[in-house]
Amino acid sequence: MTTSLFTTPRDLLRYAVTRFNTAKLFFGHGSVEALDEAAYLILHTLKLPLDKLDPFLDARLLPQEIDAVLAVIERRATDRVPAAYITKEAWLGPYSFFVDERALVPRSFIAELIPDYFSPWMVDPEATTNVLELCTGSGCLAIMLAEAFPNAHVDAVDISKDALDVARINVDTYKLQDRLTLIESDLYANVPNKKYDLIITNPPYVNSGSMAKLPPEYLAEPQIALEGGADGMDLVRKIVAGAAERLTDEGLLIVEIGNEREFAEKAFGDLGLTWLTTSAGDDMVFLLTADQLKIQEEQQ
């Protein structure tokens, strides 16, 4: 492509939007449309503030800058990799995290609930001393939990050593080494023998039917972080079954299940799930108390 056709970020933005729409890209990792994703990739590549596009739209670019942006646009359009894997960066609210192909791109509706300390179900956030996050991936939720609950120690678990290597980078960036322990474990297998005030998880929950229809952007991610079995609940069942003995008397289990509410209700509806409100509605995250889980344990 002749780079002389482009002189400004405005030129590149127009081209990128057309290129992305023509390629029928899927946007599910932070951006909601081609324009947002194109603007993010252009600003990041040019090392400009991510929230200030307008002042730079008509700035004349150097040939090497144009080449760099075009290379990023083509990689996104042709290889269909998530933008976060191109920039090695993902955002959850005000938090920026390192990410690459070893871990799922950070995204979670639980992140919306942390700033309010899971109110009104969390009785005393300042009394929270132990938090467990299962399936931590890049460590993003564990880091947000550690910062939200300053008196708590967070144990963050994942079965993937590769994912934990990514999480370590983020833990070190936020200087939480003394308050956040990364544990390689198949769910509860290597978890310390102690009681937790809070167990949080955004586990693999995509059912097999949905897995077969995933767009290339999701197929670029570690499939072990997505696959949840026939109904998406394979790991969720194990998490729910093992939570009672690891929670304090006032403890809470909070589980994100995405678009799988129907299957979650079939699997756990008799426990009396509480569905928490997020920006996507009341279908994405459920809560169970220690009391509810102990009743289930006693009935088994």
State the CATH number of the domain containing residue 183.
3.40.50.150
Band (pLDDT 50/70/90 cuts) for residue 3 is low
The answer to whether position 174 is within a domain reads yes
The answer to whether position 251 is within a domain reads yes
Q: Provide the number of structural domains found in the chain.
A: 2
The answer to whether position 108 is within a domain reads yes
Taking residues 258-262, what's their average pLDDT?
93
Query: 281 with 133, same domain?
Result: yes
The answer to whether position 158 is within a domain reads yes
pTM of the model: 0.94
Whether 227 and 206 have beta carbons less than 8 Å apart is answered as: yes
Query: 208 with 277, same domain?
Result: yes
In the chain, the percentage of residues whose pLDDT exceeds 90 is 93
Q: Residue 123 belongs to what domain range? A: 101-298
Which pLDDT belongs to residue 300? 56
Whether 187 and 238 have beta carbons less than 8 Å apart is answered as: yes
Band (pLDDT 50/70/90 cuts) for residue 123 is confident
Q: Given its phi and psi angles, is residue 222 left (phi above 0), alpha (psi -120 to 50 degrees) or beta? A: beta
Taking residues 136-154, what's their average pLDDT?
97
Whether 182 and 236 have beta carbons less than 8 Å apart is answered as: no
SS3 35: helix
Strand order through the sheet with 180-184 = 180-184, 153-158, 130-134, 196-201, 247-256, 281-289, 274-278
The answer to whether position 93 is within a domain reads no
Tell me which residue has tokens 């939480």. Answer: 176
Question: Is residue 299 pLDDT above 70, yes or no?
Answer: no
The answer to whether position 3 is within a domain reads no
Query: 173 with 223, same domain?
Result: yes
Band (pLDDT 50/70/90 cuts) for residue 75 is very high
